[in-house]
Every structure is written in structure tokens, then in C-alpha cells.
Structure 1
Amino acid sequence: MREVRELMGMTALCAALMMTVAGCGDSGGGETTEPSTTSSSSTSSQPTYDENHIMDEVRRVDKELRKLGPNDKISADAAWATSGYRTAYNEGVAATEDAGAKLKGKVTTDSLCLADSEPDAPGGWNVTVYLCATSTVRAYIDGEDVSADPEDSSKPLPKGPRTSAFLESFTTPDGGRTWQLDDSQVLTGTDGEKARCGG
């Protein structure tokens, strides 16, 4: 049972929160973006699309992600996710399946707000967004609740809804017209508190 709990502590966090998180996301080989509460401006780039458009796109992507059931994978034709994010996410779901587990529950987005916008980031325009979400998803094997605490996989996950904060990274394939989810990292401590953007 300990091996199952250790596995679920890693994979259920990815699949149950409906996003790939620490250790599960795709870094894309780019630089890590430090969160900032204000968007950065650039003298060499003048984005055609403003922050309102970007956040409309972010909310559109989030709605697509929330449409997935807790055991669903991201389809190959989902234009709202990069191939790296889709691969990492689907590997988390597959690991849960391989453990013989089924996930039940849902994830609700509490708030989304812009952290940073970097039109001249290496590799192309990069946007980071703070996300706060509440999850009721739990893992079951043969009807037994095997949900593990992601911070200590030897302990069961406490009952009840759980709120978590994340820093999500988005990229654009077309100069800012549309945006794709590329990475998601759990924020804890003071970084997590920064993400509580009025949600």
C-alpha cells in the first residue's frame, strides 16, 4: 500500500488538479520566469494584442482544461496546449491508470490573473499567470480511497476540498492572437500567497 500511496502522491496531484505541476510540467528548455505582479514592457517589441486579449485567451484555455474529466487525457488536436504540456499531462494520467486507480471529483478555478508578460523572452513571447484552484478529486483503487498527501506520500490526503496556487506559463504560436498552456508549477508559502489575486 505504501508504494501505491507514493505513486498516487506524485501522479494524482498532476491529474487530479487537472494540470501538470511541479515535477510533471514541461520546461521547454527555456528560462524560468520569476513571477511579477506587473506586466513588463519592451522598447523593442510592441505587442499587437493587449493584456485584456491575453487574459481572454487564458480564460478560454482554462475552460477547455476544466472540460476534461479527471481521468481524461488531452487530445492530440487540442490547440490550447503545447505538445510538451500535453505529453507531460497525459503521462500523469497514464501513470494513474497504470496504478489501477480511478479519479473522482472536480477542479474549480477560483481566480486567474496576469503575473508577467515578456514579448522579448527567449524562444518567443511568454506570459505567466497566477491560478488559484479548488480540487475535490480523490483517487480510488477497487473502491478504496488511496489518495496521498502530495507533501508527504506516506500520509493519506485529508478529506474535504483543497485549494492550491500555481504559476502557469503560456506561449503563442501566432504573435499573440492565440495562446497555449505550456507549463504549470505549484506555488507554496509566500509565493502561493502572491497568487491569491482577489479570487
Structure 2
Amino acid sequence: MKIALLGTRGIPASYSGFETCVEQLGQRLVQRGHEVTVYCRSHHITYEGSHYKGMRLVKLPTIANKYLDTMVHSLISSLHALSQGYDVGLYFIAGNSPVTWIPRLVGTKTILNVDGLDWKREKWPALARKYIQFAEFLATKLPNVYITDSHVVQGYYRDQYGDEPAYIPYGSDVEILPPAETLAQYGLQPGKYILFVGRLVPENCAHHLVEAFP
């Protein structure tokens, strides 16, 4: 199949979990014999090649603005996708839901991974939060399918909109290394520490771990 991955900053992954998901998922789809295209924001992705780990990169411009960056790029990418003959377009982030109907005009099936409840994040002003909530509703209507990687988000959509997205959890490849210099460097003992990996923002609740750790 011809598969497009849209709505993120692009790859090589250097920012968030969705970019990492695109890089990991895309290369696995390539290994299974699919043609994979990743749409990238030209101002963010400095990698010069046209392909990365078997995936074709389409670098398109956008408006480099906190509020317009994602939506404008996803719109331009969706219009570009109309002429590419994709079988499937996989979008990321609920805020992209308003454009997921565009590839459907030419028979491309669209999927949207809605992520978390982004409107709850303090970084967004009131108007942006209202837009994100409206986009959540559109996520239940405009793509062929929408999915989540969280049981909590799945329950939210069920309670809020009377509709339940499919739940597909993330996986990971973790190389097991014996405890040695790294732990010793920080004075840690095997099995007696907690590792938190994520951005230090309130909604990731790192402060709860600090408060709970004895």
C-alpha cells in the first residue's frame, strides 16, 4: 500500500513522541513492503536527504507560528496528497481533524490519532482551547477512523461524544544493559530508582513522582 504520515514536524525525530512514533512506525511499514511518505515542515527538518530509513520525505512550508504552524502545514500536506494516490493517510493530533476529509475526496482512507486532551494544557489561550475542543468533536466525524493510545482518552470520548475510538497502545524497543557506570555516576542502585522521561510540563505530572518518592 501507499501510506502517508501527516500532521507532525517530520523526521528524523527530534522533538516529541509523535515524531518518534512516525519514525518507528514508518520504517516498520517499509520493512513490510509498503511505500511510506512522511510530510515534514521545511523550517523544522534540516535533514537534506529525500529519503530516510526507506521513507520518502516531502518537505513543505508552513507559517512558523505557535498557533498556525501545525494546521497550515497539515492543510498544505492534505492538498498535496490529493494527487499522490495514497491508500491510507495517517494523521496525528486532534487539532488536525478539520483537514482529514480532504484526502477522502480521492478515495484515500484517513486515520487520526487524537493524542491527549490538549485543550487542558496551560500553554493554550482560551480561543485556542475552544478550537481544540471543536476539533475533538470533528475527530469523531471527518476521518474514516480515529484512534487513541490511552484508555483515559478513550473513556473521555465515550463519555463526551458517545463515540469510542479504537485503542492502540505504543510499544518500544528497549535494549537491556547491565547496571554499571551510568548508575554509579548518579549514586543509584539497580531496581531502587524511578526514571521519568518526558517534557517538564504540568500535565505530565512529574511533580507527583517527586512528591510520592520516599
TM bucket (normalised to shorter chain) is: under 0.3
Bigger share in helix? 2
Bigger share in strand? 1
Greater relative contact order structure (CA < 8 Å, 6+ sep) = 1
Q: TM-score, normalised by structure 1?
A: 0.27
Kindly name which structure, 1 or 2, has the bigger radius of gyration based on alpha carbons: 2
Q: TM-score, normalised by structure 2?
A: 0.25
